[in-house]
Chains A and B, each alone.
Chain A
Amino acid sequence: MIQYFDTKNKPWLIWVGFALVGLSLALLPFALAQVGTTWVRITNYALLYVMLALGLNIVVGFAGLLDLGYIAFYAVGAYVYALLASPQLGLHLPFWVILPLGALVAAFFGVLLGAPTLKLRGDYLAIVTLGFGEIIRIFLNNLSRPVNITNGPQGIAGIDPFALAGFRFDGPIKYYYLLLAVTLGIILVSLRLQNSRIGRAWEAIREDEIAARAMGIDTRNLKLLAFAMGASFGGIAGGMFSAIQAFISPESFVLVESIMVVSMVVLGGMGNIWGVILGALLLSFIPEILRWTVTPVQEALFGRMLVEPEVIRMLLFGLALVLVMLYRPAGLLPSAVRKRELEERIA
């Protein structure tokens, strides 16, 4: 067999590969804009989901703590941005102040959730995080009385776009580059984390908490750190979501969204960064493709729309979760450790 990618003897090929990927990512929005600006927008949301999925991957994939209320941190980040950069409170701070602040506040909420619950076993923790997500949403919905903070179910409108030294991010293509840069940053952080001392400690906790503690790992603080880091990624994504949408309401932060992010991580392969990215991209684009195909197909077949694409999307999510767990529990692109562990126990 001819080795086309003989990177061992030709290390420069790696850089060629990087350059090609970089070039195609840089040109992607212009290609998409040919099809329609909507697709650039869809890609932007897909990038947001990649960020969220990578953030959740730290909690679920690395540390093995199933978080079903992850969207709460996204909501916290989004609301921090919305409150500090909109007419709602009359504040208009620059984004480079708010985004880190949002990440910090989200991390604080992560610790707040984690501190009392970390001694719980996996499935209990999952349910508590789910409850936590709901509590945050209920508060967002109701913090409009007696003092109007979040404007309740009506949400906050007129949120400032990002602006830096007179340059305004106004159009989806500019946001694409910003999102891409942040996503790449998060990927880099994730990759570096995975093989760091912390990443290995998380893995040890995930595999066997008691053994990890016996080896001198501070399990409590490391789990808190996982929660805080995961939450801060969610907070950053939330802030960007706020700015891109210019409008947010509690509607965007429902339980289904949390479950969608969990699905992305599970489907792609818990703990494997590339798998998680694949899962996030698949689950963000498939619904859009469905939206464009399901309606015409149904109209051609039955003369009217019987099943909304939204419903098909959710049914597919549910089915994907069940089937992946039954037949490919380590996900589409399994992480090496997870794969070994899951296959051993099931056999």
Chain B
Amino acid sequence: MDTFLQQLVNGLTAGSVYAVVALGYTMVYGIIQLINFAHGEVVMIGAMVAFTIINLLVPSGLPPLAIVLIGAGCAVPICMLVGYGMERLAYRPLRHAPRLAPLITAIGVSIILQHLAMLVWSRNVLAFPQIIQSHTYFIGGAAITTVQIAILAICVTLMAGLALLVYRTPLGTAMRATAQNAQVAGLMGIDINRVIAVTFVIGAALGAIAGVLFGTYYGIAQYTMGSVLGLKAFSAAVLGGIGNIPGAMLGGVLLGLVEALGAGYIGDFTDLCAWGVPLQACEGGGHFILMGSNYQDVFAFIVLILVLVFRPQGLLGERVGDRA
């Protein structure tokens, strides 16, 4: 039971970060049906910029929370700029091209961003300075740290804020109108190019914050972190139903849970001794574990494939047909 609760807490934390990243994918997909392959790199740049700023400010003696906030405050505008630049230079010219064309430029953009980041921040794994004093609370046998609570709170706030923006403001209405039918939205006086650019920028801002959270949570950042994180977040977006904002939130949290619980229990499930297989290794309460928690990263991809095969519209997606 302790493992279960603990993995639940870990999964929720990781999952809420995935959810915030997944929002970036799903918003862009919802509006122009493009898989923004480079979104993971935006998250990485967010983490890297925050890393630099935090390292610069640590000797200044400012309160730790202020340092992290300033770090995030610098990461967000830089990522917004990257997001805007990407849309303007690599995607907008290809808006009416065959579908694979923008996906290929997205891959190109992702390679470029990754290697530029490597030039700036080296290829090493960077250790985020652990400046926030973290308390650990125990709830029913599971440990939860202040950082985890803060991440959960921030992610929930971001998601609520985004939901308000999309469903309660004129800009959100314009975004939803463009997503439904860009041409008609344009005829109704909506500046489609602006709305699409704003969508990219908002997604990038969310990605930047997610990057900072990811960095402070795991304590590390590397120029390659964007690709796997991006893939997982994309899986989360597909799980929830791509293009669907509440779906991305649900998908992210679920994916985090699946991953954490999967990693926690796969060892027990694939222990041949527990299945009663008579093996030499089992004698005297030994174990013969086929797959351990090192297979954690596989779960996201398996979830992705299963969802696409059995329910391509995702959990909350209602638009079916040629979408997937």
Min CB distance, B259 to chain A, in Å? 13
Which chain B residues border A255 with CB–CB below 8 Å? 227
| B107 near A138: Cβ-Cβ < 8 Å | no
- Label chain A's interface by main secondary structure: helix
CB distance A342 to B322 under 8 Å? no
Could you tell me which residues of chain A, from 46 to 64, have a CB within 8 Å of some CB in chain B?
A: 64
Whether, in the assembled complex, A164 has its beta carbon less than 8 Å from a beta carbon of chain B, the answer is no
Whether B274 is near chain A, meaning CB under 8 Å from some CB there, is no
Residue B316, interface by CB 8 Å: no
Tell me the complex Cα distance, A149–B105, Å.
38
Q: Determine the chain B residues whose CB is within 8 A of the CB of A341 once the complex forms.
A: 98
Contact with B along A309-328 (1 / 0, CB 8 A): 00100110111111001100
A315 & B112 in contact (Cβ 8 Å cutoff):
yes
CA distance A225 to B191 in the complex (A): 45
- Interface readout for B24-56 with A: 1 if CB under 8 Å, 0 if not? 000000000011000000000000000000000
Return the chain A residue nearest B115 by Cβ: A314
Whole-angstrom distance between the Cβ of B175 and the nearest chain A Cβ: 21
* B156 close to A (CB within 8 Å): no
What residues of chain A lie closer than 8 Å to B137, measured between beta carbons?
A: none
Which parts of A271-290 form the interface with B (CB within 8 Å)? none
A28 within 8 A of B: no
Q: CB within 8 Å of A: which of B102-128?
A: 102-105, 107-112, 114-116, 118-119
Q: How far is it, in angstroms, between the C-alpha of A272 and the C-alpha of B89 when the chains are bound?
A: 28
A103 at the interface (CB under 8 A from B): no
Within 8 A of B (CB), among A98-132: 116-117, 119-124, 126-128, 130-132
Residues of A in contact, count (CB < 8 Å) = 47
Interface residues on B, range: 35 or more
A-B Cβ contacts below 8 A, count: 136
A198 to B105 alpha-carbon distance, docked (Å):
30
CB atoms of A146 and B290 under 8 A apart = yes
Name B97's contact: one of A116, A130, A346 (CB within 8 Å).
Answer: A346
Contact A142 B235 (CB under 8 A): no
User: Is B292 within 8 A of A259, CB to CB?
Assistant: no
Q: Are A322 and B105 in contact (CB under 8 A)?
A: yes
A234 within 8 A of B: no
Q: List 12 A-B contacts (CB under 8 A).
A: A64-B100, A66-B104, A127-B35, A127-B231, A128-B304, A255-B227, A259-B107, A315-B112, A317-B108, A318-B107, A325-B102, A346-B96
Instruction: Enumerate chain A interface residues (CB-CB to B < 8 A).
Output: 64, 66, 68, 116-117, 119-124, 126-128, 130-132, 134-135, 138-139, 141-142, 145-146, 255-256, 259, 262, 266, 307, 311, 314-315, 317-322, 325-326, 329, 341-342, 345-346
